[in-house]
Structure 1
Amino acid sequence: MLESLPYQRPAGCPFDPPEELARLREKEPLTRLTFPDGHRGWLVTGHALLRAVVSDPRFSSRQELMHNPMPGTDSTEPMPPAGPGMFIGHDAPEHTRYRRLLMGRFTLRRMRRLTERVEEITAAQLDAMERQGPVVDLVRAYAQPVPALLICELLGVPYDEHETFQRHTMTVNDHHATAEERVAAMNALGTMLYDLVVAKRAAPTDDVLGDLAAGDELTDEELTNIAVLLLGAGFDTTANMIALGVFALLEHPEQLAVLRSGPEAVDPAVEELLRYLSIAHTGARTALEDVELDGKLIRAGETVALSVMAANRDPEKFPAPDRLDIRRQATGHVALGYGIHQCLGQQLARVEMRVALPALFERFPGLRLAVPAGEVPMRTASDIYGVDRLSVRLW
């Protein structure tokens, strides 16, 4: 029985999972785990086992059934049920209904049509960095503004509100902000998004929220919650992938050279960085009935913690998994989930990374860390891994 979820990274290895996870994956990829609230559940570290759990309808995503495995979350009060529209906290058939309505708005073809707009946003941020340089915090100057502005485009936020929307979004995800500041920013965003839904009901626009508002399948509350969910899922994750991806490439110059070798290297690089970094590193499901898995009995009501970062380093799936190798075909990774809850905006995230990473190094070929790598502050106690700040020298 593990007494807590391993989350301490190896000293000097900010990109590697805790060493204990690799030992567990080799010897006991499904093991008992004590959760912070005292719940006795399970931890999955193997790739095949994780995919088996998340694709099995006998395991639920309903948050009111869930025990949180992350250290520091020791409240014994159950989470309330997910609100209308908060589809990641629902099971079928509610989840199916919401996802069916949204999937047509997140097709690969539609996301690729956004590439030109991503390029424009990226170029504008690079121009701003050049004016600000030579030393900038890449998180606030580049990694956060690019996805924040693209979410504005996706949701159809009026241009004159972009700056306010972006400021509130960044405050909500700023771990240095006070609780009061973050709550105030979240409330302001909720109000803005509700007002946006009401406006698009009256005059639908050509964007995701406008498309959904034009129909009568969703209430205003559902639409607002969906907008909040898309904002949360599409901003913090992509921002941290861009920042942490840059950090990893700077620390692996031979891999950066491959990325710079030509356009054909970009797609494999994005997939490998998603696998290697696995920033959404831990998930969970709760058994709705007794389930036998890997020769063990998981009882109804027990929560299974899912170590995405361990699964994506499973040598049975990926040879030499602890090596960053952007020439490999990293297909099959679970960084963006698997099964019916696989990330709805995954193609959008890929488009942003495919544009943002090469453009940055093309504009600033001499880009390098402005501080020693060991002094880069990491987000170690968050359910989204990344960097708090990444001070870089542009030239």
Structure 2
Amino acid sequence: MGRLVTTLTRAVRQRVLARTGAVDLSRLDKVPESLAWPLRRDGTAPSARLQATRNADPVQRLVRLFGMEVWLVTGDEECREVLADSASYSTDIRPYMGRSGSATDGDIGGLGFTDPPDHTRLRRLLVPEFTMRRLQRLAPLIQQVVDRQLDELEAAAAHAEDGVVDLVPTVAFPVPFLVICDLLGLPDERRETFRSLATQRFDVTGGGPGTLGAIGGSREFLLAEVARQRHDPGPGLIGQLIREHGEEISDFELGGLADGVFTGGLETSASMLALGTAHLLEHRELWHRLRADPSIAPALVDELLRLLSVVQVAFPRFARHDVVVAGRSIPAGSVVLCSLPAANRDPRTGPGDDLDLDRAGPGHLAFGHGFHRCIGAELARMELVTTLTTLAQRLPDLALAAAPEDLEHRALSIVFGVESVPVTLHAAG
């Protein structure tokens, strides 16, 4: 989803430059509050304002910006209606950037910003690699990665003077990173460069330009890797698609797909691992239940996905024509944003703010909905189930080393997360 921030920034900048010839929004150091407030949280929960908005009016005009109406959809049923309607909405942002909309035109790749027929063709190439049968071959790898990272966690704690270690750089980030590297087929000698680029995407100390530069850097890396594997296909996803489809897919398209797998599978999974573990350690009864009965892990993971909803906004939809949602008339050309955290806690259709294992299931919107639903959803579930189950079994006394309210959450981000999760591995005394 980091690419979503980049693309939206560029899209708005293009429209302003076309109108004024003088303004460059890439230099802005903050998002207007009229657009920012739906991204704010109360702890890990959607803000009280966002939940009140959903309960009172689940479809409302958020703001008019540079001649475009921006609408916010917050209800579960209403979000599903928008996200499932590919006839009324486009996700292709290229026409808003003065480009033709062809999959080979411009600097946007992947599935998220692509409409049929390009989306249909590209997704058809990728789907076979993400079936449960294919993904099961990664199960031993995921377990090996988790075990190795817990070894590193224990070593770091043993060397820490106070026994406190941060779960984010030792477990939450490296587990999905290493799995993605193996999935894509990146050779070992190139992973350190890739790790540096990936880490920078999480580091906001350099401001927007630093983060956007890191995003561009990772895409350039993947495009170069695709070009290299075109002549020497590796054992992973990139090489497999080259071997099976050859000239049917261009380097640009394949690089976009690889970047989509990377951005969708790293930032979201790392955030979920960090936040999910922190939630379980805060609610010890859940931690003890998981340790006593690992079979609850799939249901528990789905409820954590629903409650935490780290992807805050689905890919923006652009109304192709006038549409009506929940009795509200949305004019053609409007941008429609679906708030996934608000929808996932909608009390009209689910348990709301309560974690309910009896009602848990994959029907939440954490992975989106419709034909743009995250293609890597099952891989993310596998990583979460394996990591949380192994943590609970191997480190039953794992505990937060800070009060939950003192954890530093990302204040304003498309992918919600926590900067660090300090923990102790053993009970005091």
2:258 to 210, 227, 238: 227
Is the partner of 1:6 in helix, strand or coil? helix
Structure 2 counterparts to residues 183-198 of structure 1, below 5 A: 185-186=214-215, 188-198=217-227
Note the residue ranges of structure 1 that are not aligned, 5 or more in a row: 67-76
Residue 18 to residue 78, structure 1, CA distance change in 2 (3 Å): farther
Paired residue for 2:324? 292
Alpha-carbon distance between aligned partners in 1 of 2:40 and 2:297, rounded to the nearest angstrom: 31
1:307 to 339, 349, 360: 339
8 Å contact kept, 2:186–2:234? no
Paired residue for 1:353? 384
Letter of the aligned partner of 1:317 in structure 2? T
Paired residue for 1:332? 363
CA offsets 1:231-259 (integer angstroms, 9 cap, x no match): 11111000000000011111111222222
State the shift of 1:175 in Å.
2.1
Paired residue for 2:173? 144
State the shift of 1:85 in Å.
3.5
CA offsets 1:345-377 (integer angstroms, 9 cap, x no match): 111101110111111222221111112222110
Paired residue for 2:410? 379
2:138 to 114, 118, 126: 114
Alpha-carbon distance between aligned partners in 1 of 2:54 and 2:308, rounded to the nearest angstrom: 18
Residue 224 to residue 276, structure 1, CA distance change in 2 (3 Å): same
8 Å contact kept, 1:171–1:182? yes
Residue 292 to residue 328, structure 1, CA distance change in 2 (3 Å): closer
Residue 231 to residue 6, structure 1, CA distance change in 2 (3 Å): closer
CA offsets 1:72-112 (integer angstroms, 9 cap, x no match): xxxxx889966464221111111111111111111111112
Letter of the aligned partner of 2:264 in structure 1? A
Alpha-carbon distance between aligned partners in 1 of 2:63 and 2:99, rounded to the nearest angstrom: 18
> What is the TM-score of this pair, normalised by structure 2?
0.83
Is residue 2:93 matched to residue 1:63?
A: yes
Is the partner of 1:392 in helix, strand or coil? strand
8 Å contact kept, 2:277–2:388? yes
Paired residue for 2:236? 207
Is the partner of 1:255 in helix, strand or coil? helix
Residue 6 to residue 198, structure 1, CA distance change in 2 (3 Å): closer
Structure 2 counterparts to residues 211-290 of structure 1, below 5 A: 211-214=240-243, 215-283=246-314, 284-290=316-322
Which moves more between the two structures, 144-153 or 288-297? 288-297
State the shift of 1:327 in Å.
4.2
Note the residue ranges of structure 2 that are not aligned, 5 or more in a row: 1-32, 158-162
Is the partner of 1:33 in helix, strand or coil? strand
State the shift of 1:41 in Å.
2.7
8 Å contact kept, 2:39–2:414? no
Paired residue for 2:149? 125
Alpha-carbon distance between aligned partners in 1 of 2:135 and 2:359, rounded to the nearest angstrom: 24
Alpha-carbon distance between aligned partners in 2 of 1:32 and 1:178, rounded to the nearest angstrom: 29
Which moves more between the two structures, 297-306 or 256-265? 256-265
Letter of the aligned partner of 2:187 in structure 1? P
> What is the TM-score of this pair, normalised by structure 1?
0.90
Is the partner of 2:247 in helix, strand or coil? coil
8 Å contact kept, 2:204–2:210? no
Residue 138 to residue 220, structure 1, CA distance change in 2 (3 Å): same
2:112 to 64, 83, 88: 88
Alpha-carbon distance between aligned partners in 1 of 2:383 and 2:236, rounded to the nearest angstrom: 17
Residue 35 to residue 354, structure 1, CA distance change in 2 (3 Å): farther
Give the total of aligned pairs.
Answer: 380
Is residue 2:188 matched to residue 1:156?
A: no
CA offsets 1:26-77 (integer angstroms, 9 cap, x no match): 22111121166674332111111101001112111122467xxxxxxxxxx8
Is the partner of 2:389 in helix, strand or coil? helix
State the shift of 1:178 in Å.
5.3
Paired residue for 1:69? none
Residue 18 to residue 65, structure 1, CA distance change in 2 (3 Å): farther
Letter of the aligned partner of 2:384 in structure 1? M
Letter of the aligned partner of 1:106 in structure 2? F
Residue 89 to residue 378, structure 1, CA distance change in 2 (3 Å): same
Alpha-carbon distance between aligned partners in 2 of 1:132 and 1:263, rounded to the nearest angstrom: 26
Paired residue for 2:6? none
Residue 64 to residue 187, structure 1, CA distance change in 2 (3 Å): closer
Structure 2 counterparts to residues 27-42 of structure 1, below 5 A: 27-34=56-63, 39-42=68-71
Which structure's residues are more often helix, by fraction? Answer: 2
Identity of aligned residues (%): 37
Alpha-carbon distance between aligned partners in 2 of 1:19 and 1:194, rounded to the nearest angstrom: 42
Alpha-carbon distance between aligned partners in 2 of 1:32 and 1:361, rounded to the nearest angstrom: 45
2:44 to 5, 12, 15: 15
Paired residue for 1:363? 394
Residue 291 to residue 186, structure 1, CA distance change in 2 (3 Å): closer
RMSD in angstroms over aligned alpha carbons? 2.3
8 Å contact kept, 1:63–1:80? no
Which moves more between the two structures, 37-46 or 344-353? 37-46
State the shift of 1:384 in Å.
0.4
State the shift of 1:146 in Å.
0.6
